[in-house]
A and B are shown apart, each in its own frame.
Chain A
Amino acid sequence: MPVGFVLNGAPVAPEIEAEAPLLAALRGPLGLSGPRFGCGTEQCGACAVLLDGAPAFACTLPVSAAAGRQVETVEGLGTPEAPHPLQAAFLDLQAGQCGYCLSGILMAAAALLRRVPQPSDAEIKAALAPHLCRCGSHNRIIRAVRRAADAMAPA
Chain B
Amino acid sequence: MNLAFRGVVDDGRPRLPGSLHVNRRLDRWLRFDAQGFVTISPGKVELGQGILTALAQIGAEELDVALARIRVQPAATPDSPDEAVTSGSLSIQESGMALRHACADARRIFRSVVAQRSGVSLDDIVVRDGEFCAPDGRVLGSYWSMADAGLLAVEASPEAKPKPAAERRVAGTSAPRRDLPDKVFGAPRFVHDLRLPGMLHARLVRPSSRGAVLTALDQGALPGGATVLRDGNFVAVVAAEEHHAEQAAERVARRARWEERDTLPHESALEDWLRSAPRETSVVTERSAGTPQAAHRVEQRFLRPFLAHGSIGPSCAVARWDGATLEVWTHSQGIYNLRTDLAKTLRLPPENIVVHHAEGAGCYGHNGADDVALDAALVARAHPGTPIRLMWSRAEELGWSPFSPAMLVEIEAEADAQGTLLAWRHQVTSNGHSGRPGRGALPTLLSASMIADGFEVPLSINPPLAGGGGAQRNAVPPYRVPALHVGMHTLQAMPIRASALRGLGALVNVWAIESVMDDIAARAGEDPLAHRLRHLDDARARDVLARAARMAGWETRAKREGHGFGLAVSRYKGTGAWCAAVAEVECAERVFCRRLWLAADVGEPINPDGIANQVEGGAIQATSMCLLEAVRHDTRTITSDAWERYPILRFPEVPEVAVELIARPEAPPLGAGECSLGPTIAAIANAIADALGVRVRHWPFTPENIAKAT
Residues of A within 8 A of B (CB): 16, 20-21, 24, 27-28, 31-41, 43-44, 46, 73-75, 78-80, 83, 87, 90-91, 94, 96-103, 106, 122, 124-126, 128-129, 131-142
The interface stretch among B151-159, B318-326, B550-558, B618-626 is B618-626
22 A-B pairs within 8 Å (CB atoms) are namely A24-B241, A28-B241, A33-B189, A33-B190, A34-B185, A36-B192, A41-B394, A41-B644, A43-B644, A44-B643, A80-B181, A87-B185, A91-B180, A97-B362, A99-B189, A100-B183, A101-B312, A134-B362, A136-B616, A136-B617, A137-B613, A139-B654
B-side contacts of A141, CB under 8 Å: 651
For the complex formed, measure the closest distance between the CB of A139 and the CB atoms of chain B, giving whole angstroms: 6
A-side contacts of B393, CB under 8 Å: 40
- CB-based closest 9 A-B pairs: A34-B186, A98-B48, A99-B183, A136-B620, A136-B617, A98-B362, A100-B361, A24-B243, A74-B186
Residues of B within 8 A of A (CB): 47-50, 174, 176-177, 179-190, 192-193, 195, 241-243, 246, 310-314, 359-362, 364, 391, 393-394, 609-610, 613-614, 616-621, 642-644, 648-652, 654, 656-657
A97-B186 Cα distance, complex, nearest whole Å: 14
> Please, which residue of chain A has its CB at the minimum distance from the CB of B361?
A100
For the complex formed, measure the closest distance between the CB of A92 and the CB atoms of chain B, giving whole angstroms: 9
B642 touches A43 (CB 8 A): yes
B-side contacts of A24, CB under 8 Å: 241-243
A-side contacts of B314, CB under 8 Å: 37-38
A73 touches B186 (CB 8 A): yes
Query: Quick one: which of A73, A78, A100 contacts B190, CB cutoff 8 A?
Result: A100
Known: A34-B186, A99-B48. A129 touches B617 (CB 8 A): no
Known: A43-B644, A98-B359. 11 other contacts (CB 8 A): A38-B313, A41-B643, A90-B184, A94-B610, A96-B180, A97-B617, A98-B312, A100-B311, A125-B654, A136-B621, A137-B617
B-side contacts of A124, CB under 8 Å: 651
> Please, which residue of chain B has its CB at the minimum distance from the CB of A101?
B312
A74 touches B180 (CB 8 A): no
A97 touches B189 (CB 8 A): no
B48 touches A97 (CB 8 A): yes
Chain A CB within 10 Å — which of B241, B313, B642, B644 has the most?
Answer: B313
A-side contacts of B186, CB under 8 Å: 32-35, 73-75, 103
> Please, which residue of chain A has its CB at the minimum distance from the CB of B53?
A94
A98-B314 Cα distance, complex, nearest whole Å: 13
A5-B241 Cα distance, complex, nearest whole Å: 21
A-side contacts of B616, CB under 8 Å: 136, 139-140
A-side contacts of B610, CB under 8 Å: 94
A94 touches B362 (CB 8 A): no
A83-B180 Cα distance, complex, nearest whole Å: 13
A-side contacts of B651, CB under 8 Å: 124-126, 128-129, 131, 133, 138, 141-142
B618 touches A102 (CB 8 A): no
Known: A97-B50, A139-B654. A28 touches B183 (CB 8 A): no
A155-B148 Cα distance, complex, nearest whole Å: 55
A-side contacts of B190, CB under 8 Å: 33, 36, 100
A87-B185 Cα distance, complex, nearest whole Å: 7
B-side contacts of A133, CB under 8 Å: 312, 651
Query: Quick one: which of B47, B184, B192, B614 contacts A91, CB cutoff 8 A?
Result: B184
B617 touches A100 (CB 8 A): no
A-side contacts of B243, CB under 8 Å: 16, 20-21, 24, 28
For the complex formed, measure the closest distance between the CB of A82 and the CB atoms of chain B, giving whole angstroms: 11
B621 touches A132 (CB 8 A): no
A46 touches B313 (CB 8 A): yes
B619 touches A132 (CB 8 A): no
A137-B243 Cα distance, complex, nearest whole Å: 31
B-side contacts of A99, CB under 8 Å: 48, 179-180, 182-184, 189
B394 touches A126 (CB 8 A): no
> Please, which residue of chain A has its CB at the minimum distance from the CB of B223?
A17
A-side contacts of B179, CB under 8 Å: 99
A-side contacts of B177, CB under 8 Å: 94, 96
A66-B656 Cα distance, complex, nearest whole Å: 38
B-side contacts of A97, CB under 8 Å: 48-50, 362, 613-614, 617
> Please, which residue of chain A has its CB at the minimum distance from the CB of B673?
A97
A68-B25 Cα distance, complex, nearest whole Å: 60
A98-B364 Cα distance, complex, nearest whole Å: 10
A-side contacts of B657, CB under 8 Å: 139
A134 touches B312 (CB 8 A): yes
A41-B398 Cα distance, complex, nearest whole Å: 14
A108-B611 Cα distance, complex, nearest whole Å: 28
For the complex formed, measure the closest distance between the CB of A65 and the CB atoms of chain B, giving whole angstroms: 15
Query: Quick one: which of B181, B313, B652 contacts A36, CB cutoff 8 A?
Result: B313
For the complex formed, measure the closest distance between the CB of A77 and the CB atoms of chain B, giving whole angstroms: 8
A-side contacts of B650, CB under 8 Å: 129, 131-132
A140 touches B613 (CB 8 A): yes
Chain B CB within 10 Å — which of A39, A124, A137 has the most?
Answer: A39
Chain B CB within 10 Å — which of A27, A97, A141 has the most?
Answer: A97
A134-B313 Cα distance, complex, nearest whole Å: 10
A140-B610 Cα distance, complex, nearest whole Å: 12
> Please, which residue of chain A has its CB at the minimum distance from the CB of B185?
A80
> Please, which residue of chain A has its CB at the minimum distance from the CB of B615?
A136
For the complex formed, measure the closest distance between the CB of A16 and the CB atoms of chain B, giving whole angstroms: 8
> Please, which residue of chain A has its CB at the minimum distance from the CB of B177?
A94
A-side contacts of B364, CB under 8 Å: 134
A102-B5 Cα distance, complex, nearest whole Å: 35
A-side contacts of B643, CB under 8 Å: 39, 41, 43-44, 132
For the complex formed, measure the closest distance between the CB of A70 and the CB atoms of chain B, giving whole angstroms: 17
For the complex formed, measure the closest distance between the CB of B257 and the CB atoms of chain A, giving whole angstroms: 25
B620 touches A138 (CB 8 A): yes
For the complex formed, measure the closest distance between the CB of B245 and the CB atoms of chain A, giving whole angstroms: 10
A21-B181 Cα distance, complex, nearest whole Å: 27
A132-B616 Cα distance, complex, nearest whole Å: 16
For the complex formed, measure the closest distance between the CB of B704 and the CB atoms of chain A, giving whole angstroms: 23
A135-B296 Cα distance, complex, nearest whole Å: 41
A124-B183 Cα distance, complex, nearest whole Å: 21
B362 touches A135 (CB 8 A): yes
A138 touches B654 (CB 8 A): yes
> Please, which residue of chain A has its CB at the minimum distance from the CB of B659?
A139
A33 touches B394 (CB 8 A): no
B362 touches A102 (CB 8 A): no
A53-B649 Cα distance, complex, nearest whole Å: 27
For the complex formed, measure the closest distance between the CB of B168 and the CB atoms of chain A, giving whole angstroms: 21
A98 touches B181 (CB 8 A): no
A-side contacts of B618, CB under 8 Å: 136
> Please, which residue of chain B has its CB at the minimum distance from the CB of A31?
B195
For the complex formed, measure the closest distance between the CB of A43 and the CB atoms of chain B, giving whole angstroms: 4
> Please, which residue of chain A has its CB at the minimum distance from the CB of B610?
A94
B49 touches A136 (CB 8 A): no
B313 touches A100 (CB 8 A): yes
B312 touches A132 (CB 8 A): yes
A54-B390 Cα distance, complex, nearest whole Å: 31
B312 touches A44 (CB 8 A): yes
